[in-house]
Amino acid sequence: MTATRPAAAAAALLAHSRRAAAASARPQIALWRATGARWLSSEAHPDRPAVHLPLGDADVFARLDGRAVVRIDGPDSVPFLQGMVTNQMTLVERGGAGILAAFLNAQGRILFDAFIFPENKGSEFPHPSFLIDCDVMVAELLETHLKRYKLRRKIAISNASDSLAVWQAWGRSSDLLWGSYVSRDCARHVPIGGIVPKESFCDVGCRDPRNKQLGVRFVLDRAAVPKLPTTFERVGADEFTLRRMMLGIPEGAADFFYEHSLPLESNLEFMSGVDFRKGCYLGQELTIRTYHTGVTRKRIVPIQIFKADQALPTQLTLDRGVSFELPESQSDLKPVGAAEKSTRGRGTGAVGKFCSGMNNIGLALVRLEHVHSSSGSQQILGEDAPGAPPGDLVLSNGLHARAFAPAWWPQAPPA
């Protein structure tokens, strides 16, 4: 009897360990949902293979003048924002790197995409002060939206764009910029077991959570210039826009349609911008319901734009020598030869909406049956419209386009 007790205790301990391991893995497992030939996840995936871009991997940086900065300060800042955004404010309530999130309306439609940065400075740090990096075109709307829900909370909301500017740095060395090293002098004088602070070139920023190849996002005083290694060269903001579009990363009001876009259709879960384990926040109900149904029929993807007499592209390729007159954001995309009246619903024959573009590259919200793999060898879901060449779509101004699934999207495991 006594001999069996240790064995029983060991078995119980092993079972407990297995349950603990399963519980720790459950949040990740529960966040994966098959959607056709893809997975959905709200977690970052640093182990995904890098995507080769024809934009080079030189170390460069740019000031993003198309972004504005709104400050929220006060003791109620964290609970206020926790009930307003799709991501967890608990990740940044005590400082550190910023997060990507979206503000939704009550119906679960996106109002604004934004980075939220804790202000990692001050005599009483950590203190409840946050900077919201948003599109300059919607900064005033964001302020109005925040003040509408402020009520009696002890917070102050102000536009800090006159004093602060948003920057982006990317390239082969950009991963080392944010909190990746310590100074020798600092490490030498820290006692054993003490915390060694990591050096960064600025106080407010983060590694871009949307994709590793986007580098580092950070905020500086408007008059300041980043103190980066000499390998970094300053370029125009258009270079970052091109890189972002080639990767299929939406940003700003042109890509996130105000009060129309949905978080999953906008790839927020792929870009670590939504946490499905989070409690109640404005617009949560529709987002969670869509996630648990496991079906997303449209997504924002990169498109290559070309003329009707040109051959279909087999892969996404940037041509800097091309300058097309592009249609307006939210204009329709239709399959070639589509009838004016559709037999399936809205009556326009549209299978997507144009978001934004530059040169011969753009972003569009497209039904997945009209999206091709990055190699151009197969379609992602379903079949194209009858009689249409695969992936051959028409913009509202008559230009043609082909949609590609980004290579960094998570793939379904083999059956």
Q: Are strands 67-73 and 129-135 parallel, antiparallel or unpaired?
A: antiparallel
Residue 201 has a pLDDT of 77
Higher pLDDT, 172 or 54: 172
Q: Where are the domains of the chain?
A: 60-247, 297-404
Q: Is the pLDDT of residue 87 over 70?
A: yes
Cβ contacts of 115 within 8 Å, gap of 6 or more = 98, 99, 100, 101, 132, 133, 206, 217
Chain mean pLDDT for the chain: 79
How far is residue 360 CA from its own chain's centroid?
22
pLDDT computed for residue 391 by the predictor: 58
Position 124 scores a pLDDT of 64
Burial of 340 from C-beta contacts in 10 A (0-12 / 13-18 / 19+): exposed
Residue 302 · residue 393 · CB < 8 Å: no
CA distance 111 to 135: 11
In the prediction, which pLDDT does 19 show?
45
What is the edge-to-edge ordering of all strands in the sheet holding 99-104? 99-104, 110-118, 129-135, 67-73, 156-159
Q: Which amino acid is at 284?
A: Q
| Cα–Cα distance list, 112 to 8, 52, 366 (Å) | 56, 30, 20
Alpha carbon 337 to its chain's center: 34
Question: Which position has the higher pLDDT, 190 or 333?
Answer: 333
pTM summary value: 0.79
Average pLDDT score over residue span 241-262: 96
Each residue of 340-378: pLDDT tens digit?
444 454 556 899 999 999 999 999 999 998 998 765 433
Domain 60-247 of CATH type 3.30.1360.120: yes
Of 303 and 185, which is predicted with more confidence? 303
Cis preceding linkage at 126, omega within 30:
yes
Q: Is the pLDDT of residue 157 over 90?
A: yes
Region 279-298: mean pLDDT is 85
- pLDDT greater than 60 at residue 273: yes
**CA nearest to 213, candidates 269, 262, 165, 171:** 171
Per-residue pLDDT at 126 = 65
Write b or e for each residue in 223-260: b if 16 or more Cβ atoms lie within 10 A of its Cβ, otherwise e: eeebebeeebeeeebebbbbbbbbbbbbbbbbbbbbee
Length of the chain: 415
- For 173-214, the pLDDT digits (tens) are 898 888 654 444 544 555 555 545 555 678 899 999 999 999
Of residues 92, 91, 89, the one with CA closest to residue 103: 89
Q: Is the pLDDT of residue 138 over 90?
A: yes
How far, in Å, CA of 304 to CA of 238, rounded?
Answer: 17
Sign of CA dihedral 74, 80, 85, 88: positive
